[in-house]
Amino acid sequence: MSKYPLDELVEVMDRLLGPGGCPWDREQTHASLTRYLIEETYEVVEAIDENDMAQLKEELGDLLLQIVFHSALAARQGAFDLNQVTKTVTEKMINRHPHVFGTMQLDTSDDVLDKWEGFKKKEGKRRVLEGIPKHLPALMRAEKMQAKAARVGFDWPVIDGAMDKLVEEVRELARAENQEQVAEEMGDVLFAVVNIARFLGVDPEDALQKTNNKFAYRFGYVEQVLKDKGKRWEEVTLEQMDTIWDEAKSQ
């Protein structure tokens, strides 16, 4: 028997939200906790990226706490409790995996994905793009929408069409006449780039984050070199900074 079963965490949360509990916890709502749910999720992702198992264990616990917190608030509203949350997701996983818990034969990941939308339709989801959260990071949301549309045949037959579309959108961006048009066309360019990434099997969110990290390292290198030389930014030219940038690229 585990020393810290889930029931004990539920009991701790009940104590925090009950009479004589924590004033801060008792003031929270589903809306006020949203930022913490997002922050904890990103901290889990960071622990995974760093392959830090000790940190991952801690961050998963923090994320679990948010789920218990929301469930406890819902229970006080008479909406649902943690047991109902667990029951719902358990039934959903069983119903969506008839190839494991039933007799359906699905041998590959592609087979599963081809049937996945059908499983969800049986649960009452009728629209193709239904279920994609509006608050996902924009690149991730674009990729998910494109992938779902592609599964019902709304897609270029080959990547050439996606490439041509990107060229078309870049030209429209160059012809934009005001800031509103620039913003709209820039969005179209980014959407087209995501489509190409999907064709190439590249996660656009992950690819951009890696480039962000690369930029952060190289810029930090330039900053450190200037600091070591006792130079301020305004004392060096762009060409000098670019030379140091090339040094960073060679590291």
Q: Are 163 and 200 in contact (CB under 8 A)?
A: no
- Note the pLDDT tens digit of each residue in 132-160: 888 888 999 999 999 999 988 999 999 99
Backbone conformation region of residue 78, classed left if phi is above 0, alpha if psi is from -120 to 50, else beta: left
Tokens standing for residue 148: 């779902």
User: Which range among 24-28, 90-94, 158-162 shows the weakest confidence by mean pLDDT?
Assistant: 90-94
Question: What confidence score (pLDDT) does residue 135 get?
Answer: 84
Is the model's pLDDT at 161 over the cut of 90? yes
235: DSSP letter? G
> Could you say which architecture CATH assigns to the domain 138-202?
Orthogonal Bundle (1.10)
Residue owning tokens 């509203």:
77
Tokens describing residue 143: 């990729």
The CATH class, in words, for 6-94 is mainly alpha
Are 204 and 194 within 8 A, CB to CB? Answer: yes
pLDDT at 119 over 80: no
Mean pLDDT of all residues in 60-65: 97
Helices (H), the chain: 6-17, 23-27, 34-49, 53-76, 82-95, 98-101, 109-122, 138-151, 159-174, 179-199, 204-228, 238-250
DSSP string, 52-121: -HHHHHHHHHHHHHHHHHHHHHHHHTTS--HHHHHHHHHHHHHHT-HHHHSS----SHHHHHHHHHHHHH
pLDDT at position 126, please? 72
Q: Is the pLDDT of residue 125 over 90?
A: no
Q: Residue 1 above 60 pLDDT? A: no
pLDDT digits (tens, 9 = 90+) for 180-226: 999 999 999 999 999 999 999 999 999 999 999 999 999 999 999 99
Rounded mean pLDDT, 153-176: 96
**Predicted local distance difference test score (pLDDT) of residue 107:** 78
